[in-house]
Chains A and B, each alone.
Chain A
């Protein structure tokens, strides 16, 4: 048994309490430990990714209880890719947070950050449905803390909505798991797959109810219409660097859909045949369009990027809903791209809102306006999926994969029109923020910049020196270079995605690795 497999869960789980209990009053020490932990996470997940790239599915049996009796962690290509993506994103966000001083504005940022990573990585690795619920709760409870980090009236109000919505999601998750357990008598994903396939179709009414409830739960996470209402308000009112980390959280929902509906309720399964795809596809297309319209209508920069995240989730889920190897491969490539792109834009949005507040209006020229404008427009190009960045390739892959689908014209039409509306929306926001500002001087400025929280005002004087520090820009450029690398190495990346998709559509490999000899 490869004990290395549990390292990315254990490491943050140990570092977080250490930060709380031992070094909580020493800002520098918390930063050092948090940063060291995220750097080590990147190293660990690189090792895991190279191990998984061979195509072997590794299983870690917790407490050496063999599946299906104990909980297992499973590392296949998909989990390894998602863990690597999470840890890279975490490192960049951590650098940004330290550079911009966001972690000074409230207590225990880094401990919550580590717990959040533990939950996300655990959710990607686990091979047990109830354990997936537990890791969901770990990542959620950490995200509640991060979301209301540094406080403020609006942030608390948005926090209440976010928590209530997610508690409802958790309750629904429990109902779904209870239903599945009542029918199958197991919660191990591989064992579920075996037993679900054995149940005679006439006895599966409850099972199908469970499958649909589970899809709803993951759709809440992935912010699919009509369950997306929590996202814009939460992400826009969370500290924007935290929202950048949250860019991976919607992907947890997409990952769970991909995992459960290829492994347990696969596209070939008679009882739920095409159920997920048939419902998901129209919902994903509407999500995409609504996200694009939201971008066009946003008057605050946080909401602008939050709707950008929604539209990229729409594209991603459109590709997943095809439930074909090509579609999933495109979805995986697009996952890498859209996570980096959304996080990048959230960081740029924070650069803007730190300098001139959250409104998208023309104000006096902010410091480093030129540099931030370049970053913003690059991010907009990436998000909208224009050449030369990886968003273009990702969307091209999605369009290509949809070629044989029944709804091909709808898919193509919505993706292309959605991209156009996204471009318009981003161009409008960018022109207002960066170009129109050139015509406003200190004398003609109708409203002096008004940071929207009183607290932010006081903080600003303290953090004046750090707002020009280089580290936030280093973080932004790191994400940008990630996008550029993803474009240059699109060949290897999409080959890996294809291999991952091929592995997902051969669930017997996964089942055999987990259950070993127990398979009938």
Chain B
């Protein structure tokens, strides 16, 4: 029996494959159904560290500063993410407010922060801590929904643009960056790939 670390099972058709070393930018696909299997992640710590550090800064801006400013004639209003959730809470929708806080503030923060910690621990050879962080990341990354909220802002603005003057503020751009970071992490890096990377570095 070959070493289990050298084997990978296709998530779609369950075909067993032997892992082969890849050049940078290459990705391996299933021979049977062509589903994505893994890709080369050499030097991912540096990318992850810089992107997640920037992500944390942008996330703070996205949280604390106004996302959008609207004016209906003399009436003006603007809102940030926290205010939006608090307004739900004030309206008596405690459950939805708590859910929104979890998926729009808490989990996105943890996803970025844990990515930062993972990169830091890998660079400092703290492999056990890196594993703990990766475990937490594996469990929560699906519940971060800032990308959906970003599209929801655009839809909300389309709904009211006939009646109001809309100005996007700094938090909107900051949120765009955070969303791009999350897309990078979930679509280009993938948690399974980070686990493979952690395992390679731990055993070699």
Q: Say whether A and B bind each other.
A: no
Binding site for B on A (CB under 8 A): none
Binding site for A on B (CB under 8 A): none
